[in-house]
A and B are shown apart, each in its own frame.
Chain A
Amino acid sequence: MPLLANLLFVTTALGYVAAGALFFAHLRSGGAKLSGWAARTLAASIASHVVFLVADALSGRAPLATVHQTLDFLSLLIAVGFLASMRRHRLPVLGAFITPVTLLLFLAAALRGPVARVPEGVRSLLLPFHIVVNVLGLAAFALAFAVAVAYVIQEQLLRKRQVGGVFQRLPALDVLDSLGFRLVTIGFPLFTLGVVTGSIWAARLGNGLSFSTGQGFAVLAWLFFASVLLSRAAGGWSGRRAAIGTMLGFLCAMAAIGGYVLRGVGG
C-alpha cells in the first residue's frame, strides 16, 4: 500500500477506536456531550474511510473486486447506517456495540492474503450482484447484531435488579426487540439472494453439491435468521431467544466470510 493509503488506514482505524471508546464512555456515565463528541468522531472516521476507499480505487483496484474490499465497504456501510439511524431513533448508546463491529470488519479487510483471480470463464453479472446483495444484507445483520447484544445486556440487568445507570441509558426492551426484528427483516431477503447466487456460483465453478466450510456457515447463518423471523411470526414478541439467534446468525455469517478472507478467495 502506498504511504497515503497507509496513513488513511491508520487514521480511520484510530478514529473508529476513539469513537467506540467515546460511545462506551457515554453508555457508562451518560451525558449528551459525550455522545455528541462520539458521533462527531464517528462522522470524521467515516469521512477518512471514504477517502481511503477512493484512494484505493484510484490506485487501480476495481471496487468490490476482492472480498477484502467488500469487507471494507461493508464496515463503511454499517457506520453510515448507524449514524443515519441514530439521529432518527435517538439511540446513540448503541454506538458502543456497533462501532466495535465496524472496526473489526475494517481491520479484517486489511488482512490481505494472496488474492485469487476469478477464472475468466465464470465471470458474469452474477458476481457483482452476489456481492452487492450480500454486503447490504450483512450490513443490516451487523446492526441487528449490535441491537441484539444490547437486548441481552438489558434483559440481564433487569433480571439482576441492576436498573441504575446503564439500564436507564439503554433503550426499552420492546424498542430493541422490534428494531432488531426490523433489521433482520431487511437483511434476510438480501442475504437469501446472496446465498442463492452463491450456490449457483459454486455450481458453475464445478464444485457440484460439495459444500465448503464457508458455504456451510452461510447456510447455518441463513437458518438462524429464518428461525428468528419464524419465532417472531409465531409469538409476537420473541425477546431473548430471537436476540441470541440474531447474534449466532451474524457470527456464522462472519465465520463464512472469515474463511474467504483468510484464504483470499471467494466473493
Chain B
Amino acid sequence: MSGKLMVFGLSYRTAPLPVRERLAVGAERVPSDLLELVQEAGLHEGVLLSTCNRVELVATSDDPDKSTQAALAYFNARVAPEQVDGCVYRYVGQEAARHLFRVASGLDSMVLGEPQILGQVKEAFAVAQRTGTVGTLLGRSFERGFSVAKRVRSETAVAAGNVSVSSIACDLAEKIFGELTDRRVLIVGAGKMSEVAARSLTARGARLFVVNRSPERAQALAQACGGQARPLEALATELAEADVVISSTAKQDYIITYELMQGVCKMRRHRPIFLIDIAVPRDIDPRVDSLRNVFLYDMDDLQKVSRENMAARERAVVDAEQMIEAELTELDRWLRAVELTPTIVALRERVRSVLRAELDKTLPKLGVADKERRALEAMCEAMANKLLHQPLTALKQNQTGHDGVELVEAVQRLFLLQVDPSARPSGQPSAVHDSTLAAAASSPADGAGPKA
C-alpha cells in the first residue's frame, strides 16, 4: 500500500479556451466536486486548482492509473471526450512535485512570473484544507511549494519588472514623480485602453481628469474611475495642470502638437510632465520629447520596455529551476525519512509476532520450567535482532540513495507489511484517509508528459 503524489489536468498550454472554460470549477462548487473526486478516484488526498488558465487536480493515490481514469471521467462529464482527449497531462511522483512547484512559482504561467497564480494556489489549498482532503503528503508538498515560490519571487528576476503596458506606464510615472498621491492624471480620449491605465494610476492615489470629444463618454469614464470630466476645449489648460497624460483618441493627426506643448510648457513654467501616447496613429507629436522636462513615451517605447523586462525574466528561469530542484531534493529526503520509520516498526513487529506465535505453539508441548522458558524467549528475541540487524542497517544506509524507495517498497511487499502511518517520527501529523506515505516519490519514469 503506497500513496503517490500525482497531478492530473490541463492548462492553456494543452487546451483551447472553449475546453478550459467548460471545465472551470466555480469557487462555490470546488468543495463538493473535490469530495466527489476523492471518493470516485480512490484518492487519499486532493486539491482542486481551477483558474482561467488551468484546471488541475493535485492528489495522492495508491493507484495513479486508476485515479487518472476516474479523473478523466470527471472531466469528460463536463466536456465531450473527444475534446478532452489530447489536452490532459499527468505527472506522478517527483514529476508531479516539480510541476506543482513550477506552477506556484509562476514558471508555467502564460505571462512568466505573474504574481496571481501563487495566491490562487494558496486559495485552492486552503479550500481543500477546509474540505478535509489535505493530509501529510499534500500538506508538506504545498508548504514546500509556497516556500520555493516565495524565494523565486524575491531572489530571482523571474517576477521582476512589469510586463503589462499599463503597469509599465504607472511604474515610469512613479519613477518620475515619486509618490503619485494627489498627482493629476489627464486622460485624453475615453477608450478602453486608457481606462486600464487610469485605474492603476488612481489606485496609487492620483486624481483623474478626462477630456473627450464626446462629453457623455468623458463623463462615463470619469464616473467609472472616480474622476472628473472636462470639455475638449479645456485641453490646453488641463495640460498645463496635469502631471501625467494618457492619450488614446481615434484621431488621424496629432491632437497634442509641438506648438501646443510649447505654449503649455510656458504656462506650467517647465514643471515636468509625463506624456503617454497609446494611440495608433499617434496623438502626440514625437518632437515634444525634446522640450525641457517633457517626457514622452509611445506604444512602441512601452512595448520595448515590456520585451526587455520579459527577456530579463526569461534569463532568470534557470536560477528558478535550480531552486526548485534543490527543494525537490529536500522534499524527497523528507519522504524517505517518514516512510522508513513505519516500515522498520512494522518489520520488527512482523518478525517478533511470528517468533512469538511459534514459541506459544511449541512451549506447552515441551512442558519446560519458567526459567528455561525465559531463556528460550530471550534466545528468540536475540535471533530476531540478529536477523534484522543487517536488513535494517541496509535500509537506513540506503535511505538517501537512488534506490532507497525501491528497497523500502520491496521490504513492504516481501513481508506483506501493513504499515501504520502513526508510527512515524514525532511531530508529523497523520494523514487523512490513512494515507501512507511510502514510495510517494516514485521513479521518474512514471512521470508522463502530456498524455494522449
- Measuring CB to CB, which residues of chain A are less than 8 angstroms from any residue of chain B? 154, 158-159, 161, 163-164, 167-168, 171-175, 234-241
Contact = CB atoms under 8 A, between A and B. Distances in A.
A237 B175 contact: no
B316 to A, nearest CB: 13
Nearest to A177: B272
Nearest to A167: B175
A171 B271 CA distance: 18
A173 B295 CA distance: 12
B161 to A, nearest CB: 7
Nearest to B183: A174
Contacts of B304: 161
A243 to B, nearest CB: 11
A235 B270 contact: yes
B176 A237 contact: no
B174 interface: yes
**In the A-B complex, the 4 residue pairs with the closest CB atoms:** A172-B178, A174-B178, A235-B269, A175-B178
Contact of A237 (B174, B289, B293): B293
Given A173-B272, A235-B269, A159 B178 contact: no
B269 A172 contact: no
Nearest to B304: A161
Contacts of A168: 161, 175
Given A164-B309, A235-B269, A235-B271, A240 B292 contact: yes
Contact of B305 (A163, A174, A239, A240): A163
A226 to B, nearest CB: 19
B174 A240 contact: no
Contacts, number: 53
Contacts of A163: 172, 175, 305
Contacts of B161: 164, 168
Given A158-B175, A171-B178, A174-B178, 11 more contacts: A161-B304, A164-B309, A172-B178, A173-B177, A173-B272, A174-B176, A174-B177, A175-B178, A236-B271, A238-B270, A239-B293
A158 B308 contact: no
Contacts of B309: 164
B351 interface: no
Contacts of B70: none
B312 interface: yes
A237 B172 CA distance: 18
B51 to A, nearest CB: 29
B176 A172 contact: yes
A172 B292 contact: no
A172 B176 CA distance: 5
A175 B304 CA distance: 26
B301 interface: yes
B271 A161 contact: no
Contact of B292 (A175, A234, A239): A239
A241 B293 CA distance: 10
A91 to B, nearest CB: 12
Given A158-B176, A174-B176, A174-B178, A237 B292 contact: no
Contacts of B289: 159
B147 to A, nearest CB: 20
A172 B293 contact: no
B269 A236 contact: yes
A196 to B, nearest CB: 31
A238 B172 CA distance: 19
Interface string B165-176: 000000010111
B71 to A, nearest CB: 44
Interface in B236-283: 269-272
A234 B178 CA distance: 22
Contacts of A167: 175
A158 B271 contact: no
A207 B418 CA distance: 106
Nearest to B301: A161
A18 to B, nearest CB: 25
A174 B295 CA distance: 13
Contacts of B177: 172-174
A174 B297 CA distance: 18
A168 B176 CA distance: 11
A175 B178 CA distance: 6
A239 B270 CA distance: 9
B305 A161 contact: yes
Nearest to B173: A172
A174 B172 CA distance: 12
Contacts of B271: 235-237
A93 to B, nearest CB: 13
A158 B274 CA distance: 11
Contacts of B293: 237, 239-240
B270 A172 contact: no
A167 B175 CA distance: 8
Nearest to A241: B292
A234 B270 CA distance: 10
